[in-house]
Amino acid sequence: MITLQSSDKDVFEIEQSILIQSGTIKNMVEDDFTFIPLPSVDTETLIKIIEYMKKHADKTDSKEKNIKEFDKDFMKKTLNELFALVFAANYLHISSLLELLYPSIADRIKDKITEAIRQIFSIRCDFTPEEERRIIMDNKWAHEGTEIEGTLD
Amino acid sequence: MGVKKVEEEEEENRARGKRLKCTFNMEKQQEGGAKEEHDYGEGEIDDDYEQFIGEDDDSDEDDEHDNDDEEIGDNIGVPCSQPVGFFYPLTTPSSIVVSDALDPDLPVIYVNTVFEISTGYRADEVLGRNCRFLQFRDPRAQRRHPLVDPVVVSEIRRCLEEGVDFQGELLNFRKDGTPLVNRLRLAPIHSDDGTVTHIIGIQMFSEAKIDLNTVSYPVFKETCQPHCEEFSEYSIKSGNLLHCQHREICGILQLSDEVLAHNILSRLTPRDVASIGSVCRRIRQLTKNEHVRKMVCQNAWGADVTGVLEHMTKKLAWGRLARELTTLEAVCWKKLTVRGAVEPSRCNFSACAAGNRLVLFGGEGVNMQPMDDTFVLNLDAANPEWRRVSVKSSPPGRWGHTLSCLNGSWLVVFGGCGRQGLLNDVFVLDLDAKQPTWKEVSGGTPPLPRSWHSSCTMEGSKLVVSGGCTDAGVLLSDTYLLDLTNDKPTWREIPTTWAPPSRLGHSLSAYGKTKILMFGGLAKSGHLRLRSGESYTIDLEDERPQWRQLECGAFTGVGSQNAVVPPPRLDHVAVTMPCGRIIIFGGSIAGLHSPSQLFLLDPSEEKPLWRTLNVPGQPPKFAWGHSTCVVGGTRVLVLGGHTGEEWILNELYELCLASKQDSEA
């Protein structure tokens, strides 16, 4: 059993076999650490990470469909939660989770106009009005209207 | 050394502590060493160790090597007084450790005097051990001290595994238990063949101000995420977790450039990249990166397609190319005149492009005679000219066959009508060979002999054929695949529970890596044969690929008078654009429709809609599928500007999908 401690000082006791999905934890375990403080991961996020690792620990064929369903649902989170997971998964070197998170985030950008993306991701526009006008013109083709008008000869 | 000896030494060392250090320092000033200052007992000192004692100048590396393999000296070459890394001041000598990387436990094989002085461990006490003993407070301890940051240890391990440099700080302990802060740098040393043979560690030890009695974890640096970035407006006031503090602000901007570009931006379509590129400065900068743009194209269109476009992008950058292929703003007709001649003249030949070369084979000559000669037109030449390809032997002459390009430079002929009836043989010509020769490919059980069937190339190396007409005049509806990457290519039928009505003169267009769109043709309809305007699709990657009809409506946009679908036709031109959309025009169309009207379809849409495309420039009067070639992914060349008896092959009509030159500054 390995003990993990979140940044909020909450402790979790988990089997080693589940935790070695995290490259970082695997290295620490191999170096004989049994108490692993994770000052960069808060409790809320750590709980989710543990949930993910528990589900993915058993990769038998019969569970594969099950796992796919779980993954799909697991991604139904707010953007902030997804980013917190990205940082945690990055830090803990859980590449399978990252491979799940990146496309999910990309999906939220898909087919959105610039202003929508700004709102969804809470990004402040830092262009001067001049620059912004020019950029809008340059990228008008992206989503506004149809690029092809059609009439028969 | 016996265990007893160690204990005695420890007692003495603890008692003496700094005095030992002073002794060493004094020592250095003397020549030869004053052995009597050291209470290590008679016969305890290695000859090797004497070397260290005798050292009076750390920068004199050579002598220290007598201890070890001589090769190491060649690799070290770091005089102690030189600065190593940005936080080593010029005057302080560095502690150096070298470990053997070929041994899995990374045993220490060399330490310098500064190391010995700083840590209180003598070289002979530590050689052969992994240097993690420095993390033990007590030389007899089995485990490292709990205050040693496991995250840093894990990072060290990772860097060693990946063969990259490490720089960081770690809690260490002198032999007497005094805590030290070790500012450590580790670097791999490679042999000539690239194997990592040694690890060199350079340490700067300093006093650690910690209370060993309280094991409280705030002693660890609250590490920022390894890939976190600080952004100017929202500067981090404390070292706290970025995402905790700034939940309500831009999580996406907290990702590093690398992660943002490689993992998020690269997964977007060119349109979405343009959209997000307008959001803020930093993202705009990232989206302007040519490498990122290329990745976007690769992910969106596939590696095969972007490979073909590489040549094109020498003149036009990826960003511009992606835009033009999406908006088709630069699409236009051009006329191209070339030299040379394809003689004797013929019709119903088949032509195809291999890179920038057009290849023509066979055809129907005077008196319906099947031809068997091969011609090449090299568009890269300053003055492109039709040239006959001299080959040792040719496939039997034919017309109504298909010619496809596979593996970049192979031309593959299948089927057609020969002198003695319909054929089902396969011949391959490698245009890049020194002496191109037509070679027959046996292929196991071939499909039925046929003509006016359709073919396409899947994933660059698989030939797919379907439909056509048999000797008996029967229309076919089968689908066959020949994988030419195998040593012994074998025809394989694709069995489907349902197939589109049998037909000839239809088009097969590969899109989305593994899918095919079938359009038009002269199709069986009851006991009639009618021109078709239907679309069908199949995904060959499915476990059991099935044809299904694609219900396509017509796009009704602002400004378009009529919403139209392409009138039914056969022998038309169907071209798949790099972005996956398909253009259809030409062919034999019933009624008074203009064959030069272009139609566009995106078969991967949920509800595909036909759009019309108005193209400036002079289009050809007629265009036929079997004599149209696609060059470089963006140039559609229509051979033969006239119908009837005369096929003038010196005038080509080119449909340019993208600009040829980047006119932007």
Q: How far is CA B195 from the centre of its chain?
A: 26
Torsion (CA) B395, B397, B400, B401 in degrees, nearest 10: 0
Let me know: does B45 contact B5? Beta carbons within 8 Å. no
Which positions in chain A touch B600 (Cβ < 8 Å)? 148
B250 touching A (Cβ < 8 Å): yes
B41 touching A (Cβ < 8 Å): no
pLDDT at B90: 53
Contact check, Cβ <8 Å, B250/A87:
no
Contact check, Cβ <8 Å, B275/A143:
yes
Which positions in chain A touch B279 (Cβ < 8 Å)? 114, 117-118, 121, 123, 125
* d(CA B127, nearest CA chain A) in Å: 20
Contact check, Cβ <8 Å, B561/A149:
no
Mean pLDDT of chain B: 79
Q: Which residue has the tokens 């050579």?
A: B62
* d(CA B168, nearest CA chain A) in Å: 16
| Structure confidence at residue B36 as a pLDDT band (50, 70, 90) | very low
Q: Which two tokens stand for residue B17?
A: 């502590």
CA distances from B497 to B391, B500, B535, B546, B547 (A): 43, 10, 18, 7, 8
Contact check, Cβ <8 Å, B157/A31:
yes
pLDDT digits (tens, 9 = 90+) for B603-634: 998 889 999 999 999 888 888 888 899 988 88
Q: What share of chain B has pLDDT > 70, as a percent?
A: 77
| Structure confidence at residue B590 as a pLDDT band (50, 70, 90) | confident
* d(CA A4, nearest CA chain B) in Å: 12
Contact check, Cβ <8 Å, A127/B280:
yes
pLDDT, mean of residues B424-452:
93
| Structure confidence at residue B507 as a pLDDT band (50, 70, 90) | very high
| Chain B, window 314-353: residues with a beta carbon less than 8 angstroms from a chain A beta carbon | 323, 326-329
B305 or B250: which leads in pLDDT: B305
Contact check, Cβ <8 Å, A80/B558:
no
Write the CB contacts of B625 (distance below 8 Å, at least 6 apart in sequence): B454, B505, B507, B571, B572, B573, B574, B586, B587
* Domain locations in chain B as residue ranges: 95-207, 252-327, 332-656
Contact check, Cβ <8 Å, A102/B277:
no
| Structure confidence at residue B643 as a pLDDT band (50, 70, 90) | low
Q: Which residue has the tokens 């831009």?
A: B250
Its pTM surpasses 0.90: no
pLDDT at B475: 95
**CATH number corresponding to B95-207:** 3.30.450.20
B225 touching A (Cβ < 8 Å): yes
pLDDT, mean of residues B170-198:
90
Residue type, B513: K
**How many contacts does A have with B, using Cβ atoms within 8 A?**
196
Which positions in chain B touch A149 (Cβ < 8 Å)? 557-560, 614
B18 or B648: which leads in pLDDT: B648
Strand positions, DSSP E, B150-214? 166-173, 179-190, 196-207
Let me know: does B466 contact B494? Beta carbons within 8 Å. no
Contact check, Cβ <8 Å, B559/A151:
yes
Contact check, Cβ <8 Å, B269/A113:
no
Indicate the residue of B151, B241, B268 with minimum beta-carbon distance to A110. B268
Contact check, Cβ <8 Å, A123/B250:
yes
B12 or B340: which leads in pLDDT: B340
Please tell me whether residue B646 adopts helix, strand or coil conformation.
coil
Checking if the pLDDT of B139 tops 90, the result is no
Contact check, Cβ <8 Å, B327/A141:
yes
| Structure confidence at residue B82 as a pLDDT band (50, 70, 90) | very low
Contact check, Cβ <8 Å, A7/B222:
yes
| Structure confidence at residue B32 as a pLDDT band (50, 70, 90) | very low
Which positions in chain A touch B254 (Cβ < 8 Å)? 83, 87
Indicate the residue of B251, B278, B281 with minimum beta-carbon distance to A80. B251
Which positions in chain A touch B271 (Cβ < 8 Å)? 111, 141-143
| Chain B, window 453-472: residues with a beta carbon less than 8 angstroms from a chain A beta carbon | none
Contact check, Cβ <8 Å, A80/B249:
no
Indicate the residue of B253, B267, B328 with minimum beta-carbon distance to A147. B328
pLDDT digits (tens, 9 = 90+) for B340-380: 888 888 888 999 999 889 999 999 988 889 999 999 999 98
Segment among A9-18, B7-16, B150-159, B496-505 with least mean pLDDT? B7-16
B92 or B400: which leads in pLDDT: B400
* d(CA A110, nearest CA chain B) in Å: 6
B195 touching A (Cβ < 8 Å): no
* d(CA B51, nearest CA chain A) in Å: 35
Segment among A127-136, B210-219, B435-444, B611-620 with least mean pLDDT? B210-219
Segment among B132-141, B318-327, B362-371 with least mean pLDDT? B132-141
Contact check, Cβ <8 Å, A123/B268:
no
Which positions in chain B touch A150 (Cβ < 8 Å)? 555, 557, 560, 564, 611-614
Checking if the pLDDT of B511 tops 60, the result is yes
Contact check, Cβ <8 Å, A112/B217:
no
pLDDT, mean of residues B449-469:
94
Checking if the pLDDT of B147 tops 60, the result is yes
| Structure confidence at residue B91 as a pLDDT band (50, 70, 90) | low
pLDDT digits (tens, 9 = 90+) for B525-572: 998 999 999 999 999 999 999 999 999 988 886 655 567 899 999 999
Which positions in chain B touch A110 (Cβ < 8 Å)? 268-269, 272
Looking only at the bridges linking them, the beta strands covering B635-639 and B651-656 are antiparallel
pLDDT at B149: 77
Checking if the pLDDT of B598 tops 90, the result is yes
B617 touching A (Cβ < 8 Å): no
Q: How far apart are CA B513 and CA B522, in angstroms?
A: 27
Contact check, Cβ <8 Å, B241/A27:
no
Let me know: does B568 contact B530? Beta carbons within 8 Å. yes
Lateral strand order in the sheet of B166-173: B108-111, B95-100, B196-207, B179-190, B166-173
Checking if the pLDDT of B520 tops 70, the result is yes
pLDDT at B646: 57
SS3 content of chain A, % helix, strand, coil (to 5): 60, 5, 35
Class of domain B332-656: mainly beta
B49 or B85: which leads in pLDDT: B85
The residue of chain B nearest to residue A121, with distances taken between CA atoms, is B250
Q: How far apart are CA B220 and CA B170, in angstroms?
A: 10
Lateral strand order in the sheet of B553-554: B553-554, B609-613, B598-601, B582-585, B573-576
Checking if the pLDDT of B63 tops 60, the result is no
pLDDT at B660: 77
Let me know: does B25 contact B96? Beta carbons within 8 Å. no
B555 touching A (Cβ < 8 Å): yes
Contact check, Cβ <8 Å, B272/A142:
yes
pLDDT at A39: 85
> Tens of pLDDT along chain A (153 residues)?
889 988 888 999 999 889 989 988 888 888 888 888 888 889 999 999 999 999 888 777 677 888 888 899 999 998 889 989 998 998 898 989 999 999 999 988 888 888 888 888 888 888 999 988 888 888 888 865 433 332 222
Q: How far is CA B579 from the centre of its chain?
A: 18
Q: How far apart are CA B61 and CA B488, in angstroms?
A: 64
Q: Which residue has the tokens 């580790």?
A: B186
Checking if the pLDDT of B403 tops 90, the result is yes
| Chain B, window 252-291: residues with a beta carbon less than 8 angstroms from a chain A beta carbon | 252-255, 259, 263-264, 267-269, 271-272, 274-281, 283-284
DSSP H/E element including B73:
helix B70-76
The residue of chain A nearest to residue B105, with distances taken between CA atoms, is A31
